[in-house]
Amino acid sequence: MGKKYICLDIGGTKVLGAVFDEKNSIVYKVKKKTRAEKGLEQIEEKIIKVVDELIGESGMDRSELAAIGAGAPGVINSDSGEIIYAPNLPWRNYNIRNAIETRFKVPFYIGNDANVGVLGEWKYGAGIDRKNIVGLFVGTGVGGGLILDGKLFTGSKHAAAELGHMVLNTEGPYCNCGQRGCLEAYAGKIGISREIKTQIERGRKTALKELMGDDINLLKSKALKKAIEEKDDLAIEVLDRAVYYLAAGAGSLINVFNPDMVILGGGVVEAMGDYIMPSFKKHIKRFAMPDILTGTELVKSALGDDAIVYGALAMITNKSGE
């Protein structure tokens, strides 16, 4: 009887779960919607429920389960399994590892979702064998992960790589974090949505109005992609604007890290990579020093939506010494 691993990508509104076999292949995968309003306060029940369902639905035997891994938003101490701080919730210093290991009697590993995503790309995806990698994941916000000198860098208190909160304009638009002009405020879906809404209010004609409908406060990547395919002027313009700022942030990070590779991932890049990558490679020349930019690979995530579950697998196989 082989060993199986269950790996989870825990978001605010959905959980992506995968069952890996002993050859590190996904043998079962499911995406489940969860109630957003409950947020991370319910993370423990959410994990338990999804793991139970994955065991049942995938047809694996419970005794085959060798370990569980997960990526989740927030500041997480991967060494202790403690959630130090989760965004928008007054919930601190909760040891989720103890709770899950007590329940399932197998080792449980958890890390920040973007950190875990870059770990996945480094071990199994676009960044294999690279020494220094900057990962930027564009979704609702912009998450970051860093591989430095051949290991995941998490800073002095597990909070490093908040790459979405580099300032790109000192007096720019307010970000959800309370700062102004953050990369995330321009390049994340919240920032893009704000720009679309403003332009519609200014009377710009756009297919996005109908495509977004009631979701005008939070863009769906599919709607933006569809509008771009229809050659909608505003859609093309707002995406290029977001990518310009993404390139500004990535350019600064290239000057700071002199990495082998910058990996772009997350839902927005996954949906519109064909539009984003050429524009990104053009704009970044304005922001990275030419001598450092030369030789830096600029690539799209190879694992796409699976980056975080693969990263969770990497935490398991790293820690168990495989």
Asked whether position 85 contacts a second copy by CB under 8 A, the answer is yes
Instruction: Please report whether residue 170 would count as binding a second copy according to CB under 8 A.
Output: yes
> What is the DSSP code string of 50-75?
HHHHHHHHHT--GGGEEEEEEEESSE
Q: Is 154 in the site for a second copy (CB under 8 A)?
A: yes
For the record, the structure tokens of 184 come out as: 């995330």
- Say whether residue 245 binds a second copy (CB under 8 A): yes
Compute CA distances 167 → 245, 249, 252, whole Å: 10, 8, 10
Is the CB of residue 48 less than 8 Å from the CB of residue 32?
no
From 107, 125, 251, 266, residue interacting with a second copy (rule: CB under 8 A): 251
Does the footprint of a second copy cover residue 157 (CB under 8 A)? yes
**Stretch (H or E) spanning 10:** strand 4-10
Buried/exposed 2-41: b ≥16 CB within 10 Å, e otherwise: eebbbbbbbbbeebbbbbbeeeeeeebbeeeebeeeebbe
Tokens of 129: 């064998």
Q: Under the criterion CB under 8 A, does residue 129 sit at the interface with a second copy?
A: no
Among 67, 163, 262, 307, which residue interacts with a second copy (rule: CB under 8 A)? 163
Rule CB under 8 A: is residue 32 a binding residue for a second copy? no
Total residues binding a second copy (CB under 8 A): 48
- According to the binding rule CB under 8 A, does residue 177 interact with a second copy? yes
The CB-of-169 to a second copy minimum distance in angstroms stands at 5
Least distance in angstroms from the C-beta of 234 to a second copy: 21
Which spans of this chain sit near a second copy (rule: CB under 8 A)? Answer: 75, 85, 131-132, 144, 148-149, 151, 153-163, 165-170, 177-180, 244-245, 248, 251-253, 255-260, 286-287, 289-292, 295
